[in-house]
Amino acid sequence: MKHFRSIHDVADLPALLASAAAYKADPFRHETLGKGKRLGLMFLNPSTRTRLSTQVAARNLGMEVLVLNAGTEGWALEFNDEVIMNGNTVEHVREAAAVLGAYVDMLGVRTFPALLSREEDYSERVLQQFVEHSGVPILSLESATLHPLQSLADLLTMEEQFKAPRKPKVVLTWAPHIKALPHCVANSFAQWVNAWDAADFVIAHPEGYELDPAFVQQASVEHDQDKALCDADFIYVKNWSSTAQYGKHVCEDPSWMLTPEKLLPTRQAKVMHCLPVRRNLELSAAILDGPQSIVIEQAANRVWAAQAVLAEILKGLA
Ligand code: CP
């Protein structure tokens, strides 16, 4: 694996999932694989889980880790070419990425979308500029439109939680929020579940919140949440901002919040969320504190997903 930006960088998804499960069973099985290699983690936006799980994963492989909180501690970056830098930006990504690439063997980058222009966000210009100018493998720690490390952990979680000899029904449901949030987790979850090809997959959301057909693919789309949840084995709760009015926060409909009553017609569905979650806004506290929530197991699995991906990139460096 050269870079890790989306499912398209994964040659063999079942093998990557098996690798993550093997690291979970034996975290130090390749504790010298990354000896002498340095991972840089650059955060243009906040993170708890991705930041820490990726560090743990790298150290399990014997790597050294450098963290740069570029959004708060680094120089303000410029991403436009042909620009006269007489505004607030201090350093162009062309220099910044090249310098970081001189210090590390691979570089993780977290960046969020501006949610001002769909075309701009979906071009993934920021992440791609690190690919072009750093000279080292780039690991997405969540980009403008995708969150592949989260999605790999999500699939690992569902694989280990579901043992019935049939396909699980997986429902990705939109949830209310007070802010306009990125599409990344929803897009990426849809992309990876479709590639997994091991579930009956339904996406439920209010009208105007359609995900890109490139990610929806063969999933069924429902605007009636109760209908979508019927017989569900897994329910993935996530807010994303409007598509029809791109990046806008136009719906707060509280009836879309998942509550214990909505779980009754499911097959005792396990409830997932990438976290952080706003209690009693996106998801009821009664569910989060109850036996059907697997959000902590899901977050814990972020380590093994990151370790499997880092190991694949390391093998490419050898
Ligand atoms: N789910 C997730 O990526 O969490 P962080 O934003 O805390 O990294």
Residue of 41, 43, 44, 48 best suited for mutating to test ligand 1, as the one with most atoms within 8 Å of CB: 48
> What is the pLDDT, as a whole number, of residue 178?
94
> What is the pLDDT, as a whole number, of residue 65?
98
> What distance in angstroms lies between residue 265's CA and the mean position of ligand 1's atoms?
30
> What is the pLDDT, as a whole number, of residue 90?
96
Q: Please write the tens of the pLDDT for every residue from 72-82.
A: 999 999 999 99
> What is the pLDDT, as a whole number, of residue 71?
85
**Mean pLDDT within 20-38:** 98
In this model, does residue 257 exceed pLDDT 90?
yes
In this model, does residue 83 exceed pLDDT 80?
yes
> What distance in angstroms lies between residue 306's CA and the mean position of ligand 1's atoms?
13
Q: For residue 28, with 0-12 CB atoms within 10 Å meaning exposed, 13-18 middle and 19 or more buried, which class applies? A: exposed
pLDDT band at residue 251 using 50, 70 and 90 as cut-offs: confident
> What is the pLDDT, as a whole number, of residue 188?
98
> What is the pLDDT, as a whole number, of residue 114?
94
pLDDT band at residue 241 using 50, 70 and 90 as cut-offs: very high
Cβ of residue 47 lying under 6 Å from some atom of ligand 1? yes
Q: Please write the tens of the pLDDT for every residue from 158-183.
A: 999 999 999 999 999 999 999 999 99
Q: Please write the tens of the pLDDT for every residue from 123-140.
A: 999 999 999 999 999 999
Nearest CA to ligand 1 atom 7: 48
Q: Please write the tens of the pLDDT for every residue from 204-227.
A: 999 999 999 999 999 999 999 999
In this model, does residue 151 exceed pLDDT 90?
yes
pLDDT band at residue 252 using 50, 70 and 90 as cut-offs: confident
> What is the pLDDT, as a whole number, of residue 51?
98
pLDDT band at residue 253 using 50, 70 and 90 as cut-offs: very high
Atom of ligand 1 nearest to the CA of 275: 1
> What is the pLDDT, as a whole number, of residue 165?
96
Q: Which residue has the higher pLDDT, 252 or 296?
A: 296
Domains contained in the chain, CATH given: 7-146+302-317 (3.40.50.1370), 150-299 (3.40.50.1370)
The per-residue pLDDT of the chain, averaged, comes to 97
Exposure of 225 in the CB half-sphere (CA atoms within 13 A): 21
> What distance in angstroms lies between residue 85's CA and the mean position of ligand 1's atoms?
32
> What is the pLDDT, as a whole number, of residue 318?
73
Residue of 52, 240, 274 best suited for mutating to test ligand 1, as the one with most atoms within 8 Å of CB: 274
Atom of ligand 1 nearest to the CA of 149: 3
- Residue 65, strand partner residues: 39
> What is the pLDDT, as a whole number, of residue 53?
98
> What distance in angstroms lies between residue 142's CA and the mean position of ligand 1's atoms?
8
Cβ of residue 50 lying under 6 Å from some atom of ligand 1? yes
Task: Report whether 149 contacts 307 (CB < 8 A).
Answer: no
Nearest CA to ligand 1 atom 1: 274
In this model, does residue 281 exceed pLDDT 90?
yes
